[in-house]
Chain A
Amino acid sequence: MAVDKFPVEGSHIMMFARSVGDDNQIYYDDEYAKGTEPGGVIAPPTFAQSSAQFDPDYFLRPKPGADWFGSGKEATGIKKEPGSGGGGGGGGGLHAEQHFEYHRHIGPGDVLTATVKQGEGWEKEGKRSGKLIFSETITEYHDQNGELVITARGVGVRTERPVDQ
């Protein structure tokens, strides 16, 4: 997702590290982090994914006054059923691959931008879910000095039907 301004903040890093069950002090303790090789708090390796928080239009976040496809009284808040079970992930498709290249490790105080390029698309016949439609996006994160800090490549997949269990 393209993001104009992704301010990297200490409390967000702490919450993100907690959510992946990582209690490493380098993600929340300034004093401890000063004595480590990076010399300060840094973000965990997959933190850039949370740039979704800074995309005002991110489609997997409910927004005030807008319909939301999750459940309330009914199983979905969208009157018209979203596709015919299409997507295999309930609207967002499924995440097939994710790759990161770290040019520098980011930390609190960095202000990033994310620019997105559409990559390749391809199709495959899946045993457990029918036709699979893959699409690739490449996201480049630059810092406040215009330096490239992270290159991310994601592959999403939409399935013909939910994946058999």
Chain B
Amino acid sequence: MALSASNLNAGDTYTESLVEDLKRTQIVMYAGASGDYNPVHTDEKFTKELAGYPSVFAHGMLTMGMTGTMLTNYVGDGRLTKFGVRFTSQVWPGDSLNATATVEDVTDGIVNLKVETTNQDGTVVLSGYAAARVD
């Protein structure tokens, strides 16, 4: 499962599809699990009529959580030491997301990764970094 430093090179990439056609129900699941019930994520009436958005949209942390799945699938369970992101664009129901980790360097048993998640139009919705212990 875990990565081996000797097999990693700067520029290596790992990509996963996170979700196809994101459903409102998944956003509701995330609201329930995380405890963030901000109506802009689940309440279409409030979001359109009061908040001024065309529809509900995903929690940034849902996108980060899904991106985390790509990372742990790549680096192995319990191996992450850092994971940080900026949310650069909103994610909407119906979106399909892909996430990519790119190796920046491997130093002292730690791989540093650049992390990016894009939607079906190629728009970057999340941009960040991660670090993980490697063998």
Using CB atoms and an 8 Å cutoff, list the residues of chain A in contact with chain B.
12, 15-16, 18-22, 24, 26, 36-38, 42, 44-46, 49-50, 52-53, 58, 60-62, 69-71, 75-76, 81-82, 85, 88-92, 94-102, 105, 153, 161-163, 165
Contacts and interface: CB of A to CB of B under 8 A. Distances in A.
B18 A21 contact: yes
Contact of B40 (A38, A53, A90): A90
A101 B81 contact: yes
B interface residue count range (under 10 / 10 to 19 / 20 to 34 / 35 or more): 35 or more
Contacts of A163: 53, 90
B18 to A, nearest CB: 7
A38 B77 contact: yes
Nearest to B1: A37
Contacts of B33: 12, 15-16, 18-19, 50
Q: Is the interface of A mostly helix, strand, loop or mixed?
A: loop
Nearest to B19: A21
Given A101-B82, A162-B52, A71 B43 contact: yes
Given A21-B26, A75-B45, A45 B61 contact: no
B85 A99 contact: yes
Contacts of A85: 50-52
B64 A46 contact: yes
B71 A52 contact: no
B45 A89 contact: no
B72 to A, nearest CB: 6
